[in-house]
Amino acid sequence: MFRALLLAALFLLGSCSAAPREAKPALWAVRDGDTIVYLFGTVHLLRPELRWFEGPVRTAFDASDTLVLELVMPPEAETQALLDRLGRTPGDTTVAALPAPEHVKLEGALRQAGLSPQSLDRDEPWLAALTLSLLPLQKLGYDDANGVEQVLQAAAAKSGKRVTGLETAEQQFGYFDHLSAAAQARVLGDTLDGLPKTGATIDAAVAAWGKGDADALARLLNADLAGNPELRDTLLLRRNQAWAAWIRHRMQAPGQVFVAVGAGHLAGDASVLALLAKAGLKVERLQ
């Protein structure tokens, strides 16, 4: 479940290599007579040395008039207000009341990050888990400033492309907030157990993403999400269905659109790509 947070919820893929190198992540297209929808799997945090925005990916982006992301993040103050409202319930003692072995792990992770051992005690379990999953990645040099969305948005602004989102920040945080208490508790517990494995998890993920190996990425996702059907249904399956429906509708209007969503949504038998193919659309692999 720790990898499920990294791969299914945030798709935080990257390279632990110190040397600059190129990646060739997968790119697909759905097209008819007057419409092309490009589909590209994103990585929300990356280290700066990994090069990926070139070749067919850059060509498809440049040819598109619109960039479509999972969401366009609101200003930081608005995001923080959402987290306070959805992720911090007055009087919720779930995190503070963790069993002693788990609280020791929590305190150790927070101390390593230079934070107070009590800094997450008022967070709901899903927000505490999300925070914990990010802390080791930041220490390894990952930054959302280097993530795919930030790079694409900057390029879109420079070229005057329209940018829109499939979801809102409130929707995305709401997916976690609406998980049952049991599912949230499991996510937090398994995140604590998985913290020492962060480096290996990222290595496996970047190997799949950087090679454009959607099958390997699907295996990583399914191995973890299978243990929590509620999380899989909420974060993956229902969103894939909604996005596939959006793309089918978008195919009815002319133009070229570059759709960039978390890489895990484009991997596996229940992916957006699979749903489009089942609906009778031809999905073409470009890279």
Q: What is the pLDDT of residues 150-175, one digit of tens each?
A: 899 999 999 999 999 999 989 988 99
| Token duo for residue 161 | 């492309």
Write down the pLDDT at residue 157.
96
3-class secondary-structure state, position 132:
helix
Write down the pLDDT at residue 141.
66
pTM of the model: 0.87
The two beta strands, 27-31 and 283-285, are antiparallel
Residues of the chain with pLDDT under 70: 1-20, 45, 47-48, 138, 140-146, 199, 223-224
Q: What is the pLDDT of residues 113-147, one digit of tens each?
A: 788 888 888 899 989 888 888 777 767 666 666 67
Tracing tokens 């829109």 back to the chain, one arrives at 164
Question: What whole-number percentage of the chain has pLDDT above 70?
Answer: 86
Among residues 35, 27, 97, the alpha carbon closest in space to that of 59 is found at 27
